[in-house]
Amino acid sequence: MKLQHPNPIEWHFSERAANMQSSFIREILKITQRPEIISFAGGLPSSATFPVEEMKASFDRVLTTSGKTALQYGPTDGFPPLREWIANSLSTSDCTIAPEQVLMTSGSQQALDLLGKVLIDEGSRVLVETPSYLGALQAFSVYRPEFAAVDTDDDGLVPSSIAAVAEGARMLYALPNFQNPTGRSLSVARRQELVETCARHNLPLIEDDPYGALSYKGEPFPKMLNMHPDGVIYMGSFSKVLTPGIRLGYVVAPLPLVRRLELAKQAADLHTAQLTQMVVHDVIKDGFLDRHIPTIRALYASQCQAMLDAMATSFPAGVHWTKPEGGMFIWVTLPKHIDAMQLLDQAIAAKVAFVPGAPFYANDPASNTLRLSFVTVTPERIREGIAILGKLIAALV
């Protein structure tokens, strides 16, 4: 029987829940769903690259041949043939990765959460780039660490700056390939220096690599995992090379850590969906990604060049930007007196959206920065949107 005048519940949230913050990008995306908005805001892969027919055929094949297995509970660490495929793809002649080191996750965002849960206590020092991936800052913040920023320059993270903040740190989080948000990549020499520096300080290094396959020249950088498998935690994802809708990522780590991560995952969701793991394995097992990824690279390279050309034409003097050689993002630095958050209000009124840079900083945000994503916008719309943005910036210079 329903109460006539129920008393409203006075909710008492945990301190952790009270301190949770929404993703600024996700809030912007609510606005950019309007079709009239030219959106450079979302870090979404282009839906034009999604292999719909191949996925459909694999779903049919898996459900026809192994339907009862695919629809059942699965092991926490993941579908064994897929873990073996990942381990083989990451192994080199000098470094063998074992399937037992691979833990499948519900998107790489879950891997970040599990790493935070296992490695961070309240007040633990966590080292991050300046700026860093907003999703990682959000995931780690739940566990209330003390973020310490590692210096960056036009060539990315500066390994020599680690020593000053390394004492007592639990881990260093880095995106070495076409970083989100800047689009920068670490040179081979810096990767080696970073690995050696972290090893010297007994500092676990998280190598988050969602964009590594998206080099426009098709020449991937060497993985830091292979340089020091005992000290590097590698994160990968199928979101950018296949489709994000399947929510399938993975983390590769030394066995003692993998076992702890597996226990944390058991408590979180028991296991990642068996059906999607089996379908993805069916799609990729015979070399599909080797044929598919070059088409993504070509599309993104042309859209990136369209944006760079439009910026060179439309942006006023005093504005600087990165020139990525892969990935999905361009980082813009405005004259210091321009606040990108205020510029966003003007841009949305003019039907253009981007992401202000300040949320990507763990400490001391630079308010005169912004991130542009080009992969979901046609060259024509890119030129139109950048022209509008250039006029708005010019009026503020």
Torsion angle, CA of 224/225/229/232, rounded to 10 degrees? 80
Locus of tokens 């999703």: 135
Which residue type is seen at 371?
Answer: R
pLDDT value of residue 320: 98
- The rounded distance, in Å, linking the Cα atoms of 130 and 335 is 18
- What dihedral do alpha carbons 206, 207, 210, 215 form, nearest 10°? 160
- Residue 371: name the closest of 182, 149, 151 by CA: 182
State the CB neighbour count (10 A cutoff) for residue 69: 13
Residues 6+ apart with CB under 8 A from 105: 111, 114, 248, 249, 250, 251, 265, 272
Question: Per the structure block, which two tokens stand in for 83?
Answer: 């873990």
Name, in order, each residue with C-beta under 8 angstroms of 342's C-beta and a sequence gap of 6 or more. Answer: none
**What whole-number distance in Å separates Cα of residue 100 and Cα of residue 102?**
5
**What is d(CA 186, CA 184) in angstroms, rounded to the nearest whole number?**
7
Angle at which helix 274-284 crosses helix 52-70, to 10 degrees, equals 130
Sequence-ordered list of residues with C-beta below 8 angstroms from that of 9, at least 6 positions apart, any chain: none
What is the per-residue DSSP string for 136-182?
A: HHHHHHTT--EEEEEPEETTEE-GGGSGGG-TTEEEEEE--SS-TTT
Query: Residue 220: what pLDDT?
Result: 87
State the pLDDT at residue 256. 96
Over residues 50-85, the pLDDT tens digits come to: 999 999 999 999 999 999 999 999 999 999 999 999
Intervals of the chain under pLDDT 70: 1-7, 20-29, 31-32
Number of H helices, E strands in the chain: 13, 15
End-to-end CA distance of the chain: 66
**pLDDT tens digits, residue range 149-194?**
999 999 999 999 999 999 999 999 999 999 999 999 999 999 999 9
User: Quick one: DSSP state of residue 89?
Assistant: H
Cβ atoms of 109 and 139 within 8 Å: the answer is: yes
Q: What's the confidence (pLDDT) of residue 38? A: 95
In DSSP terms, which residues pair with 251 in a beta bridge? 103, 235
- Dihedral of CA atoms 73, 77, 81, 84 in degrees, nearest 10, equals 180
Segment holding 389, helix H or strand E:
helix 379-394
Q: Could you say which DSSP state residue 372 is in?
A: E
At residue 94, the pLDDT reads: 93
The token pair at 211 is: 């964009």
Q: Are 238 and 248 in contact (CB under 8 A)?
A: yes
C-alpha gyration radius of the chain: 22
Instruction: Take residue 384 and report the two structure tokens written for it.
Output: 């139109």
Give the pLDDT score at 33.
72
Put residue 319 in one of left, alpha, beta given phi > 0 → left and psi -120 to 50 → alpha: beta
